[in-house]
Chain A
Amino acid sequence: MLVYLGKRTAALLAIVLGVMALVFVASRVLPSSPVEMALGAKPTAQQIAQARAELGLDRPLPEQFARFAWRAVQGDLGVSLRTGQTVTSEILGRFAATAELVTLALALAVLVGIPLGVWSAAQRGRLFDKASRSASVSMLAVPVFFLGILLQLVFYGQLQWLPLQGRIDSDLLLDAPFRAVTGFYLIDTLLAGDLTAFRSAAEHLALPVIALAAASLAVVMRTTRNVMAEVLQTDYVRTARAYGMAPQRLLFGYALRAAMLPLLTVIGLSYGFMLGGSVIVEYVFDWPGIGGYIVESVVTNDFPAVIGVTLLLSSVYLLINLVIDLLYYAMDPRLSL
C-alpha cells in the first residue's frame, strides 16, 4: 500500500509539473505580448523594457519556466494586477466560500443521488426507474447558469422565499459579526450561537448549492443505478438472497458495497466538475469565492490571477483524484491484500 502511495504521489508531482509547463507555454505562446500580459493594459515602452529585464523575459525559456515553477511551488503566484494584492492572499481569502459551496453540493449529490440510484435499480424497469432515468437525462441538458437563473427567477423573483445572491445578509455582517473560525458560515454561526445569521447563511446557500449539485446528482444517480443493476445480477447477491437476507440490508449493506468502487470514480469526477461549475455558479449568485474571482480576473485581463487560480484549482483536482485512487486501492480487498 505504501509503495502504491509513493508511486502515485510521484506521478502526481510529475503531472503538476506538467500542468505548470502547459500553463507556462500557453502564457508565452498565446498572447501577442507576454509582457503586456504581465503588466496589464497599455504600458509605456519604458515599462515594457523594465519588465522584460525584471521578469527575465530575455532569458531562455527553460530558465524562465524554472523560475516560474520554483516560485509557484513556494506559493508565490505573483501579484494581482487588479487589486495589487498577491494572488495567493486573494485566493486564501476566498477559499472558504468556495469550499463551503462545493462541499455542500457534493454532499447533496451523493446523499441524494446514491439512494435514488439504488432504489431505481431495485425497481428496475418499473415506473420509478423510468421516471428517474428521464429526470436525470433532462438534468444533464440544462446548463448550470440557466438553472441558476431559473432558480433565482422562481424562488426570488416569483416566490420571494430565498435571497437573490451573496453569502449572507450584509446587515448581519455589519451589526453583529460572528467570528470566522473555519470560514464556513454554517459552522461559524453555529459556533457563535448566532441563529439569525445561521438562517441567513443557509438561505443564501440553498440556491447556489442546488444549481451546482444538479448535474452531478443526475450523474451519480444514473451511475449508481447502472452499477447496482449489474451487482444485483451477480452470483453473490443470489447467495445472500438464498440465505434469507432482508431486502433493505441486501441493497444498502451488501450490494452497495460492491458498487462503491465505480461510484468512487464518479464522485471524484463530480468533484472536478463542481470545481469548474463553481465558476459559473459563483458568477450567477455573486458568491465571493474563487470562481467569481477568476471571472473578474479574466474580464479585467488580470493574467497572474487567472494563471494562479488555474494552477491552484488543477492541483486540488489532481489531489482529489489521488485520494480517490488511494481509496479505490484500499477498498478493494482483491488489490490491497
Chain B
Amino acid sequence: MSGLLIEHLQLRIGAATPLRDCTLQVRPGEVVGLVGESGSGKSLTALACLGLLPPQTTSSGSIRIGATAVLGAGEALLRGVRGKRLAMIFQNPLSALNPFFSIGRQLLDVVGTHFSEPRPALLARVQRALERVQLGATFMQRYPHQLSGGQLQRAMIAMAIACEPEVLIADEPTTALDVTVQARIMRLLKELTEQGMGLLLISHDLALVSQVAQRVYVMYAGRTVESGATRELMASASHPYTASLLKAQPRLGQLQRRLPVIEGQVLPATDTLPGCVFRARCRRAVEACARQQPPTLQLRAGSLVECHHPILPALQAQELNHV
C-alpha cells in the first residue's frame, strides 16, 4: 500500500483536543482536498504527518506514508521522511523561505540533506525542479525578497518536488496570492501529480478545491465529517455542514437578498460534551445528536458521512434549499 493514510488521528494539547478524529487517504497520483474553516484542525493534520507538532502534544491513531508509520516515530526516522517522502508547502511563501539565503542555496540544502551525491548531481536535481515549476535558472541566485508572490510559491513547490516525494501536502497554497496567479499555481500542482505524486490540498475554499481534486474530505471541529468523490459531493452533500458550505457560496447570476450564513461559532477545542460536534449549528439536529457520537455511514460507494440525520440522496434538492 502506498500513499498517505491517516486513521483516526487524535491530537491533544493540554485541556484542548484540537483534532478529535481525522481519517483520510491520498493514493499515488490522486488529488485529494481537505476542506474546513479555521480551527477545524486541517493544518494540524498536515503538521502531524511531518512530526512537527508542538512538544506538549499527545496523539493517538496512525499516520502512514507507504509502509512507514510516522506518528510517534523517532526524530531520525522523521528526518528521513520530511521532504523526501512527504513534502509540505505553506500558505505564506515569503515568510517560509529564509531571507538571508538565495533560492538556489536553499534548494541545494534540501536536496543535499536527502541525497548524498556529488554537487553537480545535486545541482542538476535543483535545476530540474525549477524547470518543472517554470522558473528559469536565473532564479538560483535570487533572494526571496526579490520575487513576486507567485514566483515564491513556485520556488516553494520546486523545493517540495526536488526530492520527488510520494505525497505533497499543500496548506492553503494560494490564499495569499492574487486570483490570477491562483489559477496558474493550481494548474501547476495538478500537472505535477500526473507523474504519480499524490497531492493533499488543504483549503477553506471548497470551490477552489473542487476544481482540481478528485476526492474531498470535509472537516469540522477536528473531525472528518464527510468524504467522497468531488463531483458527487458538490452536487449532493450528505452532511448538513457540507450542505451549508455549498449553500453559503455566492453564485454568479443568482440574485440573493441575504447571503446565507452558518450561524453560531466553531466548537471550542476544549468542549468535551457528548454528541455530534455540529449539533449547535445544525438545522437538522435531532435528539440523538446531543447524546451520541454519530455513526459513520456509507450512503454511496466511495463516500462516508458521520451523521445521525444525513441528507439522503432522494431529498437532496429540497434540503439544499431549506438549509
Interface residues, chain A, with chain B CB atoms under 8 Å away = 234-236, 238-247, 249, 254, 257-258, 331-334, 337
Contact = CB atoms under 8 A, between A and B. Distances in A.
A246 B143 contact: no
Contacts of B80: 244
B143 A337 contact: yes
Contact-residue size bin, chain B (C-beta under 8 Å from the other chain): 20 to 34
A238 B52 contact: yes
A235 B90 contact: yes
A258 B113 contact: no
Contacts of A254: 98, 101, 109
A257 B79 contact: no
Contact of B146 (A241, A258, A337): A337
B85 to A, nearest CB: 10
Given A236-B96, A236-B98, A333-B100, 16 more contacts: A235-B96, A238-B90, A239-B96, A239-B156, A242-B50, A242-B82, A242-B87, A243-B113, A244-B78, A244-B80, A245-B110, A254-B101, A257-B98, A331-B100, A333-B102, A333-B143
B83 A242 contact: yes
Contact of B145 (A235, A247, A333): A333
Nearest to A334: B145
Contact of B101 (A243, A247, A257): A257
Contacts of B295: none
B89 to A, nearest CB: 9
A243 to B, nearest CB: 4
B40 to A, nearest CB: 20
Interface string B72-114: 0001001111111001101010011111111000000110011
24 contacts: A235-B95, A236-B95, A236-B98, A236-B99, A239-B90, A239-B96, A239-B156, A240-B98, A242-B88, A243-B82, A243-B87, A244-B78, A244-B79, A244-B84, A244-B114, A245-B79, A245-B113, A246-B113, A249-B113, A254-B109, A257-B98, A331-B100, A333-B100, A337-B145
A245 B83 CA distance: 9
Interface of B: 50, 52, 75, 78-84, 87-88, 90, 92, 95-102, 109-110, 113-114, 143, 145-146, 156, 159, 163
Contacts of A236: 95-99
A235 B144 CA distance: 13
A112 to B, nearest CB: 24
A239 B100 contact: no
Contact of A243 (B75, B99, B100, B110): B110
Contacts of B92: 235
A240 B101 CA distance: 12
Nearest to A258: B100
Contacts of A332: 100
Contacts of A247: 75
Given A236-B96, A257-B101, A244 B81 contact: yes
A257 B106 CA distance: 13
A243 B52 CA distance: 11
B310 to A, nearest CB: 37
B52 A242 contact: yes
Contacts of B81: 244
A215 B23 CA distance: 56
Contacts of A257: 98, 100-101
B110 to A, nearest CB: 5
A245 B156 CA distance: 16
Contacts of A239: 90, 96-98, 156, 159
B127 to A, nearest CB: 18
B71 to A, nearest CB: 16
A303 to B, nearest CB: 49
What 6 A-B pairs are tightest by C-beta distance, nearest first?
A243-B83, A244-B82, A235-B95, A244-B79, A236-B98, A333-B143
